[in-house]
Structure formats: structure tokens, C-alpha cells
Structure 1
Amino acid sequence: MTAQETGLMLRGYGLTTAEFFYRMPDYRHVLNSFVWQDYDLAPDYPRLFRFIEFWQDQIEGPLHSVRFTHRKMISPGEWRNVVGEFTLH
């Protein structure tokens, strides 16, 4: 985990995982899936919806459905800065 990811989590971002089901451009009867992950803000999910708009504008395979989950890893009240470390043995 990088410092940038920790900073995002402290500002309220959580890990959003989305599974896109889309039709193959040449074989419309075949469904394929694509998994996407990014840190995003619930309940508006601006990054997820920006990616969906990008998909609809730039990718040839039309979307069938999108299934997603969001997990907030930490919140500002759960994190504390520890400045000492004790080593045993």
C-alpha cells in the first residue's frame, strides 16, 4: 500500500470493484467479463461512472450489465499515528 492510497482512504475513499459483462463486437451472442478496481467515493461513485461513460464512448463491445461492490478500508477515526515500536527477542 502506498502513501497515496493511504491518503485516499483517510479522505473517505474505499476500494470499488466492478465486473462488467459486455457483448463481443463480432459475436453479439457471446458475453465476456472485465474486472475493474479503483478507489472511489460512495454513494456517488464518480470514478466508476466516469469509466462507464468512457466504455460506452470508446469501447466497441456494448455493455450488458455491471455488478460492483464497495469496501471502505479505514476511516479517519480508525487510524492513529504510532511513533514508537517495540521489538521482543
Structure 2
Amino acid sequence: MTRRTVDASFCRMLEGYSLTSAEVLYRMPDHPTLLQTFMWQFEDLAPDYPRLKRFLDHWEREIEAIIHSVRVMHQGLIAPREIRLVKDAGRLH
């Protein structure tokens, strides 16, 4: 008998993790008038975003660049299925 295993990424989706993108606009101390961007895509847990918060905390502690703004984009990969009932001549399709 073959034993099947569930994909770890799928299990994380069931726990609520989903695709998240973060765009960080920042300035370097040696070029304060130049606004630069850093894009990062990862799995995180909305709406608290613990992984993003850990990353931003690390950035503020370890990186000299000053964060100007952060834009977060989030897309749930597993959502409740939409069900539409269509009635045609007394039959349900």
C-alpha cells in the first residue's frame, strides 16, 4: 500500500498562510534624496503579517537604510468556493 503525504505548502494554506508581496521604499544615508525600492514575496498570515513584521524589525535593527514606506499586497490562495444555483425548467444544474 502506498502512503500519501500532504504537501507542506498546502497545509500552510489551510492554516491561513497565503501569498504576500511587500514593496519597501527606503533611503540610504549617503544618498538621502534618492528613494529606492525593495520587493519581497513570501507566504505570511494575514492580517497580522508576523513574518513581515519580523523582517521589518530586522531591517530597522541591522540595515542602515531608512524605511520611507511599505506597501503590502496579499492574495488568499484558498477561499470558500462560490456556488451559484441555476434553475432551468425545474431542473437544478
Give the structure-2-normalised TM-score.
0.73
- In percent, how many aligned pairs have the same letter? 49
After TM superposition, which residue ranges in structure 1, 4 or more long, deviate above 3 angstroms?
Answer: none
Q: Give CA-to-partner distance per residue, 1:64-86, whole Å, 9 cap, x none.
A: 000011111014x66xxxxxxxx
Unaligned runs of at least 5 residues, structure 1? 79-89
Q: Which has the larger radius of gyration?
A: 2
CA distance in 1, matches of 2:58, 2:9: 23
- 1:5 Cα deviation from its structure 2 partner: 1.9
Q: Secondary structure at the match of 1:7?
A: helix
Query: Bigger relative contact order, structure 1 or 2, given CA contacts below 8 A and separation 6+?
Result: 1
1:15 maps to: 19
Two-structure CA RMSD over aligned residues (Å):
1.4
CA distance in 2, matches of 1:34, 1:25: 16
Give the structure-1-normalised TM-score.
0.76
Unaligned runs of at least 5 residues, structure 2? 1-6, 82-93
Point out the structure with the larger strand share.
2
1:67 maps to: 71
